[in-house]
Structure 1
Amino acid sequence: MNADFVFEAPANPTTLDGIRKDVFLDRYSLKNEEGKPLEEYPEQMWKRVAWGISQQEKPALRKVWEEKFYKAMSGFKFVPAGRILSGAGTPYQVTYYNCYVIPSPKDSRGGIMENITMTVEIQARGGGVGVNLSSLRPRGSRVKKVNGTSSGPVNWAALYSTANHDVIQQGGSRRGALMIMINDWHPDVEEFITVKQDLTKIPGANLSVCVSDAFMDAVKTDADWNLVFPDNSYYKYDEEWDGDLDKWKEKDYPVIVHKTIKARDLWNLIGEAAWKSAEPGVVFIDRYNKLSNTWYFEKIIATNPCGEQGLGAWGVCNLGHLNLPAFINDGNVDYKLLAEHASIATRFLDNVVDANYYFYDENKKAQLNIRRTGLGTLGLADALIKMKLKYGSPESLEVIEKIYSTIRNAAYTTSALLAKEKGSFGGFKKDKYLKGVFIQKLPEEIRKLIANHGIRNAIILTQAPTGTISLLAGVSSGIEPVYEFSYKRNDRTGEHIVNHPLYDEWLKEHPSEKIPDYFVSASALTPEDHVKVQAMIQNLTDSSISKTVNAPNSHTLEDVKKLYQLAYELGCKGVTYFRDGSRTGVLSKVDEKPASAQGSGEARPIVTERPLRVDGATYRIPTPLGVAFITVNQDPQGNPFEVFITIGKAGSEVAALAEALGRMISTTLRFGNHKPPIERAREIMEQLRGIGGGRSVGFGPNKIRSLPDAVARAISLHFGFGSDKQDSVNGVSLQVGTSVAVLDPTPIPAAEPQFLQPMTKAGDICPSCGSSALVYEEGCAKCHVCGHSEC
């Protein structure tokens, strides 16, 4: 890396510590060829980014705007998206865009593979991709050229997932992000809705159903709903079918009704699937199109992976965020300062449109015709806490309305004045644009500015996930409530309880007082509170919102349906729902057998005592949770005897679970019953094999879906069960070492009970650091300990 791109730090730079420092150095600091950070302080990053983005101004204005952009970013008041922070002002040809939607694939093998190639190319450069697979013929349809039948879009979705989840790793820090959608009229929509109730299926993508207004009307009236698809034998099919059913019908081309169901049954199926597995999401696609400022020339077909941007084919969007707590002074919002920064941020993001490197000409053409930007916010929950307002309360909604009205008005005013200075977006048609539903709600003076000067950006606002950049800025994520105010963190000194900064500050100042109600976590709010906040902000946002509606485990199927209906009635464009505990796996029912009568006189099985010495081997196997060392031992007679599993840091949740799994397997092997030990080992292997979680590693026969799946592989390899006689997993030779386990005469002490502070809640296990801190918010998963993000 050329040292010319590294700016000097000021005399008193911002000093970051803990996770903020880790995120900055790992994700956003400029690196040399060896990956060593060249920027030690945020000021160096801000200077680089400000310089890079200001180069799109006229030469005489570059220094002026470089200074303004730098001041806006200083103190994290304005935080551009991560792609911009890491790439702007560098010599690299990288994308600054987070959001992409590609065209639906042509309904052929070649068309699908070309579409997957687009997905991989975009993800390899750091973009997240959305695709609608409604263009693919349903399962069982005839394929004339090969005299066979189609496997359907759900089966093809698995291939997209594999390409994304198992191949792409963006910047060495996260997997690619992918959204797959299907329309409510598609004959395979039921299969699509239920596929992820098996959490091993399509792990590399988010799924959402595109729901139409016609469908919602049918739900309301309990009407029938036809599942249809074009007649693929029609001579125009190969040439003209692109997934747009309305366009196909307008031309009076033939359509086949594959099935008729009750709309409510399909609606109930969506709710039940979301209740069980948190997917699919719901996108009200007609609302996207009817409310879009580009309604007269762009057909929105899908959203990006996190759902904050509904886009047409080849659509893109860049993102930036105003840090709301930075505008709170003495418990009040400084609306003037907020408006000033919204204005500067709008110009900044417009410059990004021209500064970006476009690796597909189609993206460039689409973006220059729209100049779509995504100005949003982060830290809403923290801002409300600073104002002593409970998230979701009527008082908070009043303030939220004023905050987002201020941002909207400043951004639209600036874009209209930019049009006077630089010209309007390519697709601007004054009469049509001013008829847009969202534009009609703008203050009259802004609409007059647009009528007189045009507008630079067709669409300006969004509310995107801010996983790692909110950690960098040290505030709450996006528009989400605080997930929990205390969490566990493991480091080299042990396990610690870490408090949210504002909560920690309050505890120190009020050690013996009752916690105020404005310290309310995501899980303590009602799902309706979540939706009301989302709807309020959606009303003031021209694009869409990435937000997770968190619900308690006790939330019922009927509650889910009511919640979705509420979101639709309040004007939301989509819903991402997460019920606590719904992603931990789906249990199979165990057939109950009558217990044996007591006192039957049968000999009771006993646990075989452990001899002084047992022999075995240790297998090193990569898993989704990190590398596992699995020791399989047998007794002197060669019988399977015990299993030890080591993974993660000592004292971590994953290490404890691994130890527990090993102990349970060992006890089962040593517990006498009618089956010989080798058969018990085979049964254990069969039960564990194929268990999947939210992610996997490896390919094909070498794929490891979970830690239990890895244990099954080790047992199978050790005893030569089935085909598992190879000595490699994931293309890497297994490190197998013989082990001699000697009896330790010291009894294992009982574990001491562990107590967590109130308000502490464990999340899922993070694949990067192994901590139980992976939570679902903003339609995304992120770790509060290490900053790992899946969006």
Structure 2
Amino acid sequence: MQTDTHSSQAAPVRGGDNDQNLEATAPGQLRVIKRNGTVVPFDASKIAVAMTKAFLAVEGGTAAASSRVHETVDNLTKQITATFKRRMPSGGTVHIEDIQDQAELVLMRSGEQKVARDYVLYREEHARLRATKHPEDAPVQADPDYPTLQVTHADGSTGPLNMMHIRTIVAEACAGLKDVDDKAILDEAMRNLYDGVSLSDVNTSLVITARTLVEKEPNYSYATARLLLDKLRAEALGFLGVAETATQAEMHEHYANALPVYIRKGVDLELLDPELLNYDLDKLGKALLPERDLQFTYLGLQTLYDRYFIHSNDVRIELPQIFFMRVAMGLAAEEDNREERAIEFYKLLSSFDYMSSTPTLFNAGTLRPQLSSCYLTTVPDNLHGIYGAMQDNAMLSKFAGGLGNDWTPVRSLGAYIKGTNGRSQGVVPFLKVANDTAVAVNQGGKRKGAVCAYLETWHLDIEEFLELRKNTGDDRRRTHDMNTANWVPDLFMKRVFEDKEWTLFSPNDVPDLHDLFGSAFEERYTYYEQQAAAGKIKPHKTVRALDLWRKMLGMLFETGHPWITFKDSCNLRSPQQHAGVVHSSNLCTEITLNTKANEEIAVCNLGSINLAQHIVDGKLDQDKLAKTVKTAIRMLDNVIDINYYSVDTARTSNLRHRPIGLGIMGFQDALYAQHIAYGSPAAVEFADTSMEAISYYAIAESSNLAAERGRYSSFDGSLWSQGILPVDSLEILARERGADYLQVDRTQRLDWDTLRETVKTQGMRNSNVMAIAPTATIANITGVSQSIEPTYQNLYVKSNLSGEFTVVNPSLVRDLKALGLWDSVMVNDLKYYEGSLQKIDRIPADIKQLYATAFEVEPRWIVEAASRRQKWIDQAQSLNLYISGANGKKLDVTYRMAWFQGLKTTYYLRALAATTTEKSTISTGSLNAVSAGGAASGSTAASSSAASEASAPAPVPKACSIDEPDCEACQ
């Protein structure tokens, strides 16, 4: 005689706690879902009892048989228990049928075929009997495929689960998606539900089920996002009183009704600007496009939900299209025909063709619209000015701004202090205070405080500055949370190439060097060296330039800092060199604007074009690109007038010069769409032609805005006013640096002569127009590759503040399917080889080249593509460098090449090193299970060992620190 393990219909004995509902269980404990939907603690003794009865029914009850049965059952029960604990080490819920399936399996594997056969027959018979002899124990079958469950609503009431609604939601989620199975999602999700489950947990079960399938089929990411939308709709529409639940199809009606209610409630809750009530809300509501909700990947939608949607008491009151319209309304608030402009802005944002920066998305249309991304300041050499700069940092950071601080004016360690007749402690102790201020204030409670300190390479404290991020030494002279960057003059790079000496000074002894660049700097610096050699300047220090350069590269490799940025190319190519000096870049090294202590804090206002969206039929759609750029420039210019300024000097600078930074993202996806490998001449050419088009259209539109709205006030005297466009400024750099030290392609394709004359005649609305930001989070929202980055890995786990997400390259999957190569074996191979194709023999060579990962692309291709872009950009680009098998020679060659090819700045160094990797598998039922390994710190990216135990889950590598929650660039 056999019995069902953990069954309330077990014969002839019934467990005393089997008929009880779930009670509190310890963390990590396994639980069992019974057939009637109740949940009970996992009890191994019940498995033993059931299997014992199965053995005794076959073998009888003799003493000899009993002894063997006891030992065998004990062993098999331990195997079954170990299986489920291995699958769910942190605890979880398992269905009774899974336990019985496992019991059959271990019986067969142990050679007990007779007992296994009898056990199978017994299960089948009792399944029939439950439906006939014990109808009171059988669930009500309201749906032909799934049991009727009672669900608990938010108010505590219970009722039957509406399976028709669930089927509709899942069907909508899968509609139009190739190779996505709605039944697979439903079957698995329903197996994990039980009587009394909360309604929100029903949605969670659906989302989690679909999410586990992403690594097998990328389209499940879209299905998962659409299932998540069901939760979002219930939360927001319920709060607004529009509807308790809604399908996606019903949103054509609900969106139009919800927008006016949302605006009124947002104003009442003091979350939105009352000015939004003056829009024609009915007109705007009817303009919403619900079908655009279907564009999101799961990562994108979850990111919006967690970090961007406005909330009240932790209830999100926005939905995606309402969110985009709120941002559009905020940006159109001062337009004459603002409804039409709001709709224009909304359509651009919601199409994913362009996306505003995170602060703009956070705050547009709110009571305090701080829409700018970063601020650049210069710190003066006096205590009042230094601590005033600290206060500015705190205020700017509070309202979600990243900071770039120029610390070069502050005198060095040992420098004379006239007011006290003492000696200075140098710049480092103040940097420690700045570091702690960023930690203390953070960014409005929404993301970490983020600041980067810049110091020129001739500063006497430069050697200690290089060591600020080290984990050894005096912790009082370390800044573990602050980014640092070298502001490197061309003269230093020439001394490195020529292997000459370099002299370090305290800035109070050479005060004019800070504001000089090009040949003027070289002349004055050489004079000061002569004065120092004559003993007329103390303190100073002479070092071998090559030794200092090697230390810079060594610290960059060891700690990831300081980044290397180039002072002279930033200044000599600046359109605004008549109005001031660029003393530093910003937090992410793409902004190059003038700053002046106590007078001007530069402000960068950012947004990015999704380049992948502009590849149509395998080529760049110039007409679409021109239209996108035109609207984007207008939106960015509007930011300047609408923006909230927490510091007056920032307002002064922004209104005087009106700089904006239009960038790009999805560059890698655009290459995939054209079947171009990143490491190829064709990719370099595309970087050139695409950036030329964006530069042309952006400059033209800023000039058109000048004709409509007026020039920026400091236009006269600028390079623009002389008809010198960004590509033309290369001649200035070549002349000042020396042509032997600059190698940049000068090819031009568009009608630049006509545009030069237009700019001279009409003027420019904005002093600066272009900059390529990292775009990590907004790229997540739009579902494309970050900025100008090559693919990190083709299969990995992405971590950010919204959690961890398995990411698989959809373009790769598409191409492998076409070749008949995409299957579960390929998934496991990609995990084993950490997202790399290079060692998978059955993949063709051209596919391997096309989908080479970041560390498989030679750095020269990354630098060359960046050089081609840089010639068209009036500011700079956030350029990460990936170097596999990094050593001193590779770093030396790469960074020399970056300077030689005219780059203005570089950003993070990503040097490959071996560490433990994240683990994930779906074959065990775990969802993106992650072990305690992780990416290497500092400049290194995660890599796993080449092999794992046969019984261990296949690894899914985790993205390097650029995708970690603690990395400021990603937020």
**TM-score, structure 1 as length reference:** 0.71
* CA spacing shift, 1:583–1:416, aligned 2, 3 Å: farther
Residue type of the partner of 1:351?
N
Match of 1:212 in 2: 489
1:51 pairs with 329, 332, 351, which one?
329
Contact persistence 1:468–1:788 (CA under 8 A)? no
1:306 pairs with 588, 592, 616, which one?
588
Task: Tell which deviates more after alignment, 377-386 or 243-252.
Answer: 243-252
Shift of 1:147: 5.6
Contact persistence 2:490–2:568 (CA under 8 A)? yes
* CA spacing shift, 1:754–1:399, aligned 2, 3 Å: same
2:645 pairs with 338, 344, 358, which one?
358
Equivalent runs, 1:107-186 vs 2, <5 Å: 107-108=382-383, 110-145=384-419, 148-165=422-439, 167-186=440-459
Match of 1:470 in 2: 779
Contact persistence 1:281–1:577 (CA under 8 A)? yes
Shift of 1:203: 1.7
Contact persistence 2:720–2:760 (CA under 8 A)? no
What is the distance in 2 between the residues matched to 1:295 and 1:751? 61
Alignment deviations for residues 606-634 of structure 1 (CA, whole Å, 9 cap, x no partner): xxxxxxxxxxxxxxxxxxxxxxxxxxxxx
Contact persistence 1:210–1:282 (CA under 8 A)? yes
Find the residue that maps to 1:311 and give its secondary structure.
coil
* CA spacing shift, 1:36–1:114, aligned 2, 3 Å: same
What is the distance in 1 between the residues matched to 2:493 and 2:949? 54
Count of residues in Structure 1 that have an aligned counterpart in Structure 2: 607
What is the distance in 1 between the residues matched to 2:690 and 2:914? 35
Please tell me whether residue 569 in structure 1 is matched to residue 900 in structure 2. yes
Please tell me whether residue 761 in structure 1 is matched to residue 960 in structure 2. no
Match of 2:866 in 1: 534
Match of 2:726 in 1: 438
1:461 pairs with 749, 759, 770, which one?
770
* CA spacing shift, 1:118–1:47, aligned 2, 3 Å: same
Contact persistence 1:392–1:533 (CA under 8 A)? no
Match of 2:739 in 1: none
- The unaligned stretches of length 5 or more in structure 1 are 586-648, 658-691, 696-749, 763-772
Larger strand percent: 1
2:631 pairs with 344, 347, 350, which one?
344
Please tell me whether residue 197 in structure 1 is matched to residue 470 in structure 2. yes
The percentage of aligned residue pairs carrying the same residue is 26
Please tell me whether residue 548 in structure 1 is matched to residue 880 in structure 2. yes
Equivalent runs, 1:5-404 vs 2, <5 Å: 8=285, 10-15=289-294, 16-32=296-312, 34-41=313-320, 43-57=321-335, 59=336, 61-90=337-366, 92-108=367-383, 110-145=384-419, 148-165=422-439, 167-198=440-471, 201-230=478-507, 244=515, 256=538, 258-313=540-595, 314-404=601-691
Shift of 1:583: 11
- The unaligned stretches of length 5 or more in structure 2 are 1-265, 269-273, 596-600, 730-750, 822-842, 917-926, 940-947
Find the residue that maps to 2:662 and give its secondary structure.
strand
What is the distance in 2 between the residues matched to 1:365 and 1:133? 21
* CA spacing shift, 1:498–1:70, aligned 2, 3 Å: closer
Residue type of the partner of 1:347?
R
What is the distance in 1 between the residues matched to 2:616 and 2:680? 21
Match of 2:793 in 1: 484
Shift of 1:756: 3.6
Contact persistence 1:389–1:395 (CA under 8 A)? yes
* CA spacing shift, 1:27–1:134, aligned 2, 3 Å: same
Shift of 1:376: 0.6
What is the distance in 2 between the residues matched to 1:302 and 1:370? 17
What is the distance in 1 between the residues matched to 2:594 and 2:818? 51
**TM-score, structure 2 as length reference:** 0.58
Equivalent runs, 1:578-657 vs 2, <5 Å: 578-580=909-911, 652-654=930-932
Shift of 1:214: 1.6
Alignment deviations for residues 670-727 of structure 1 (CA, whole Å, 9 cap, x no partner): xxxxxxxxxxxxxxxxxxxxxx9779xxxxxxxxxxxxxxxxxxxxxxxxxxxxxxxx
Match of 2:227 in 1: none
Shift of 1:544: 0.4
Contact persistence 2:505–2:539 (CA under 8 A)? yes
Residue type of the partner of 2:491?
A
Please tell me whether residue 2 in structure 1 is matched to residue 267 in structure 2. yes
Please tell me whether residue 421 in structure 1 is matched to residue 713 in structure 2. no
Bigger RCO of structures 1 and 2 (CA < 8 A, at least 6 apart): 1
What is the distance in 2 between the residues matched to 1:17 and 1:787? 22
Residue type of the partner of 1:175?
K
* CA spacing shift, 1:483–1:432, aligned 2, 3 Å: closer
Shift of 1:507: 3.5
What is the distance in 2 between the residues matched to 1:205 and 1:550? 22
What is the distance in 2 between the residues matched to 1:376 and 1:214? 30
Contact persistence 1:430–1:451 (CA under 8 A)? no
Shift of 1:559: 1.4
What is the distance in 2 between the residues matched to 1:421 and 1:543? 24
Contact persistence 1:277–1:583 (CA under 8 A)? no
What is the distance in 1 between the residues matched to 2:513 and 2:756? 36
Please tell me whether residue 559 in structure 1 is matched to residue 890 in structure 2. yes
What is the distance in 2 between the residues matched to 1:116 and 1:583? 39
What is the distance in 1 between the residues matched to 2:848 and 2:928? 36
Contact persistence 1:381–1:481 (CA under 8 A)? yes
Shift of 1:93: 1.1
Shift of 1:22: 1.3
What is the distance in 2 between the residues matched to 1:583 and 1:139? 38
Find the residue that maps to 1:306 and give its secondary structure.
coil
Shift of 1:402: 1.4
What is the distance in 2 between the residues matched to 1:306 and 1:490? 20
Alignment deviations for residues 507-553 of structure 1 (CA, whole Å, 9 cap, x no partner): 4443425344211211111122221121111111110000210111x
Shift of 1:578: 2.0
What is the distance in 2 between the residues matched to 1:321 and 1:489? 21
* CA spacing shift, 1:787–1:544, aligned 2, 3 Å: closer
Alignment deviations for residues 449-475 of structure 1 (CA, whole Å, 9 cap, x no partner): 112111111110010011111000000
Alignment deviations for residues 225-261 of structure 1 (CA, whole Å, 9 cap, x no partner): 11112556xxxx9xx8995478996999985451111
What is the distance in 2 between the residues matched to 1:582 and 1:452? 54
Residue type of the partner of 2:864?
K
2:692 pairs with 371, 393, 405, which one?
405
Match of 2:27 in 1: none
What is the distance in 2 between the residues matched to 1:583 and 1:164? 32
* CA spacing shift, 1:77–1:231, aligned 2, 3 Å: closer
What is the distance in 2 between the residues matched to 1:443 and 1:380? 24
Residue type of the partner of 2:386?
I
Larger radius of gyration: 2
Contact persistence 1:153–1:188 (CA under 8 A)? yes
Contact persistence 1:177–1:790 (CA under 8 A)? no
Find the residue that maps to 1:312 and give its secondary structure.
coil
What is the distance in 1 between the residues matched to 2:507 and 2:516? 8
Residue type of the partner of 1:176?
G
